[in-house]
Amino acid sequence: MTTVAALARCVAVFGALLSANLAVSAQAADLKVAVRTDASSIDPHFHVYVPNAAVMRHIFDPLVLSDARGRILPGLAASWRIVSDTTWEFALRPGVTFHDGKPLTAQDVAFTLARAPTVPNSPSSFSQYTKLIDHTEVVDAHTIRIHTKAPAPTLLVDLANIGILNKAAAEGATTADFNSGRATIGTGPYRFVSWAPGDRLDLAKNPIYWGGSEPWDRVTIRPVANDGARVAAILSGDADMIEGVPGVDRARIASNPGLTLAECDAFRIIYIHMDSARDISPGVFDNAGKPLDRNPLKDAKVRRAISLAINRTALVDRLLSGQAHPAGQYVPPDVAGANPNLPPLPFDVELARRLMREAGWGEGFSIILASSNDRFPNDAQVAQATGQMLARIGIKAEVQPMPASMLFSRGSKLEFSVMLSGWVGNGEPSSPLVALLATFDPKTGMGPSNRGRWSNPAFDTALGNALRTLDDTKRNAFYAQASEIAVADMGVIPVYFTINTWATKRGLTYEARGDEMTLVTGVRPAK
């Protein structure tokens, strides 16, 4: 199977073929789920982060929904129309009420869109989703117009990420108020019960949900970072569903008649950020361990040498058991707007060494390589292996794995020189390009997760053209151009795309999602 063909698939794989008389429906009204990573907050606008987005989709609804492959569907907005190049009108779904019984109105939507980009201390601001909005206009109780600063072809994709709040409950509320549940009142399929960070999130069915009643009365979502512990939980029955099935256990789970495996090619790119902006960088040293008075990562030749030193195929085959695809750009090649001329990046140690010499760093240097240890499969091991690969071109890497919450918090404070991390997109190139590579500018909402502060005017121009172009063909050409510029300059090193895998107990099915979210709304009794 070709890489493109593999990336296009999204299939459910059953652990065993069961005869009809053995098939059973789930009888329990409660559901227990084990996830890799806890949310960093219940505030739906605190942090652009997949675990938070998944929690949001249970408690709050956006104006529009994105399905398992990123297609846009009606949500709280039953319909919409483009009034002009810079004006969109949304008709709210009638009869929708919040968990406290208050009706949804256009005022709630206007309040939400104003609040989302302004949450204090956000590690990755929602401004990236509201940057194109100039102002909102409440036409009547069930109609709102969104006026944009320029043509906004990605507006619907952006709005799918913003959970709509109950203005009466959320006005003046802090992130702590959402974490405690005081302000956590949405329109979603489940009501907030309690959250014990690091331990469990408890939800209860919303019996008056506009989308129909869910089959689960109560849901418990537990973060279980250890892969073996999650697998043990599904095998013992302590969990009805787990995410992030490790590659080494995939065959065992697939052959277990009591379990069902669901998997899907992901929108997640694993990448390396490098400090390409500062003259002196905090995690770069000479070979004796003394801080350098100049930053080698500012040189594109050094950044390209680092990329060439990474054996992506070995990472995928040896550490991930084939549950990934080597990357040559920032979106999978089957995504509209991907550049067809950017294949997976090569592994070439000799060329990397030559570039290091040309850049004046033939003797090498030392770095601290930061990574998560609980965010994506074998993340700490991938970082360790990457560090060992860099040693072959004279770069000595001290790998520092840490919880993802700490990595993002410290990374946003620019405490790292080199950082291995992941970004989960939505099937639209603007997601990683805006967040990771656009020149950081809090005023415009561009580059909110650009923790290396790479900046390239030609890239910004190409991306800006894409974000103002309503014609799909022309917009996708601008995206492809922007990606080519970023890869040529190695603003961010793309490493690989992951494959998302879940396991459920027999009698349950799950619709695997490219955006990596584990949604209880996708779990159903098998027919």
pLDDT in tens, 310-348: 999 999 999 998 889 999 999 988 888 999 999 999 999
* Angstrom distance (rounded) from CA 392 to CA 127: 41
> Cα–Cα distance between 282 and 417 in angstroms, integer?
6
- CA 438 → CA 300, 421, 430, 433, 473, distances in Å? 17, 17, 10, 6, 21
State the Cα–Cα distance between residues 256 and 233, nearest whole angstrom.
14
Q: What's the CA gap between 163 and 517, in Å, rounded?
A: 15
The stretch 74-103 carries a mean pLDDT of 97
Q: Which residues contact 174 (CB under 8 A, 6 or more apart)?
A: none
Of 368, 376, 375, the C-alpha closest to 400 is 368
Give exposure, 463-473, as e/b (b: 16+ Cβ within 10 Å). Answer: bbbbbbbeeee
The whole-number pLDDT of residue 193 equals 98
Round the average pLDDT of the chain to a whole number and report it.
92
The dihedral through the CA atoms of 285, 291, 294, 295 has a sign that is: positive
Q: What is the structure's pLDDT at 376?
A: 84
Q: How far apart are CA 355 and CA 206, in angstroms?
A: 59
Please report, in angstroms and rounded to a whole number, the separation of the first and last CA atoms in the chain. Answer: 30
- Using DSSP, state whether 128 is helix, strand or coil: helix
Question: What is the Cα–Cα distance from 323 to 248, expressed in whole angstroms?
Answer: 10
Q: Is 341 exposed, middle or buried (0-12, 13-18, 19+ CB in 10 A)?
A: exposed
In the chain, the domains with their CATH numbers are 43-184 (3.90.76.10), 265-497 (3.10.105.10)
Query: How far is residue 388 from each of residues 54, 162, 316, 465, measured CA to CA in Å?
Result: 34, 40, 15, 40
DSSP track, 441-488 = BTTTTB-TT-TT----HHHHHHHHHHHT--SHHHHHHHHHHHHHHHHH
Please determine, for residue 24, whether its predicted confidence score (pLDDT) is greater than 90: no
Helix/strand/coil for 4? helix
- For residue 470, the model assigns a pLDDT of 85
**Nearest alpha carbon to residue 87 among 126, 159, 144, 161:** 144
Instruction: Calculate the CA 71 to chain-centre distance.
Output: 16
Q: Which helix (H) or strand (E) holds 432?
A: helix 430-432
pLDDT of residue 375: 83
Indicate the range of 16-20, 133-137, 308-312 predicted with least confidence.
16-20
Per-residue pLDDT of 381-418, as tens digits, reads 999 999 999 999 999 999 999 999 899 999 999 999 99
Q: Mean pLDDT over residues 472-489, rounded? A: 96
Q: Find tokens 């040896």 and name the residue.
A: 318
